[in-house]
Amino acid sequence: MKQIAILGSTGSIGSQALDVIAAHPDEYEVYALTANNSVDKLIEQALRFKPEAVAIANEAHYAKLRDALAGQPIKVYAGPEAINQLVTAGPIDIVLASMVGFAGLCPTINAIKAGKVIALANKETMVVAGELVTSLAMQYRTPILPVDSEHSAIFQCLSGETDNPVEKIILTASGGPFRTFSLEQLETVTKAQALKHPNWDMGAKITIDSASMMNKGFEVIEAKWLFGVPYDRIQVVVHPQSVIHSMVQYADGAVKAQLGAPDMRLPIQYAFSYPRRLKADFPRVDFTQLGSLTFEKPDLIRFRNLALAYSALERGGNMPCILNAANEVCVASFLHEEIGFLQMSDIIAETMERVPFRKESSLDDYIATDAESRRVAASLINR
């Protein structure tokens, strides 16, 4: 059986990954679970799946986790460094990187260096340090299998097309809850409105990113590194039904698309089982009931974050790292109702202008850029 470590097991992706593992007990076994703050849910998961080890990033929760699992044959750790080390454990076959934000970068790099297969759901890893991560993956011959529904779709569309030139990658976007809103309406949207995604059930941070289309901007950056396609050959198309998860257009004009019901368990399971497809009871697309599929051009004025992401990717260097850090600070402030929806883009853009640009960066440089970008973005919010 494949031994799986789940980074961010209490989040939406991590929880659904455990559903996949539970459905295939003869294929997969949980080796390690980690969480940031959700200690009660981590305890519940540990008692159910009996992993070899668990780790909580926030050390303030260590005592509660340790006491709850006392008497269980489970090793208990705390702190970011413990997670960095845990992913290198010898028995682990696959590391599901589903931590949210910049925090996922270092453990993912450690897992790559340890030769683990990476099932990548933490898009910020590629946004912040895509050049470094892909270089390390090649050096250590570590497969990176995408879990995002869009990148999994592209990965599936590329299967068997090794020598065929790609003309264009087409990323689909639902458009989020504000797809038809005017700029005036976007000025006054609330946190509660932004957290109601029309098609997907996700965590708070990624749901806000989807509403602002920053999530799609991140996916453009991630696609460039995962598939080696220049930014100007990665197109975003708004597809409100979320049935076509993404497409690839080839040199002869043929387009391959991957379709499925909006259920994250499918790409999670495919990353775990690749290249096999395991039987599953996921929802099926009923074309007789589907009705029409529609497509629109994204509005880069109303959804400025997508334009900022393209700009960051075009400049390269540490600019996507600056973009990500500023966005994390802005999303947290929006969720605390400290800034408005459109203010997020303004602050991100100004942070990108103020933080020093570096064309080439090491891991330490990215860490320093992240810290400085957060400081600048926070100062802009509090001015």
Neighbours of 323 (CB within 10 A): 29
Any bridge partners for residue 144, and if so which? Answer: 118
- What own/partner pairs with CB < 8 Å and gap ≥ 24 does 369-372 have? 369/318, 369/321, 369/322, 369/325, 370/102, 370/128, 370/321, 370/324, 370/325, 371/325
Angle between helices 265-273 and 12-23 (to 10 degrees): 60
Domains and CATH numbers, the chain: 2-146 (3.40.50.720), 148-311 (no CATH), 316-383 (1.10.1740.10)
Query: Which residues 6+ apart lie within 8 Å of 342 measured at CB?
Result: 183, 186, 187, 304
Handedness of CA 71, 8, 44, 191 (dihedral sign): positive
Amino acid 199: pLDDT: 60
Burial profile 5-30: b = 16 or more Cβ within 10 angstroms, e = fewer: bbbbbbbbbbbbbbebbebbeebbbb
Task: State the SS3 of 284-324.
Answer: CCCHHHHCCCCCECCCCCCCHHHHHHHHHHHHCCCHHHHHH
Pick the closest to residue 152 from 280, 286, 265 (CA basis). 265
CB 169 within 8 A of CB 235: yes
Structure tokens at 94: 């696959």
**Preceding omega of 275 cis (within 30 degrees of 0):** yes
Residue 280 phi, psi dihedral angles, 5° rounding = -150, 160
Residue 103 confidence (pLDDT): 86
User: Rounded CA gap, 92 and 109, in Å?
Assistant: 15
Sheet holding 244-250, edge to edge: 234-238, 166-173, 244-250, 255-259
- 239 DSSP assignment: -
Where do we find the tokens 């504000």? 178
Task: Per residue of the chain (383 residues), give pLDDT as tens.
Answer: 999 999 999 999 999 999 999 999 999 999 999 999 999 999 999 999 999 999 999 999 999 999 999 999 999 999 999 999 999 999 999 999 999 888 899 999 999 999 999 999 998 899 999 999 999 999 999 999 999 999 999 999 999 998 999 999 999 999 989 999 999 999 999 999 998 866 656 678 888 999 999 999 999 999 999 999 999 999 999 999 999 999 999 999 999 999 998 899 999 999 999 999 999 999 999 989 888 999 999 999 999 999 999 999 999 999 999 999 999 999 999 999 999 999 999 999 999 999 999 998 899 999 999 999 999 999 999 87
219 closest CA partner among 186, 256, 245: 245
Asked whether the beta carbons of 210 and 197 are under 8 A apart, the reply is yes
328 close to 368: Cβ distance less than 8 angstroms: no
Report the candidate in 347, 345, 317, 374 with the shortest Cα–Cα distance to residue 217: 345
The DSSP secondary-structure symbol of 51 reads -
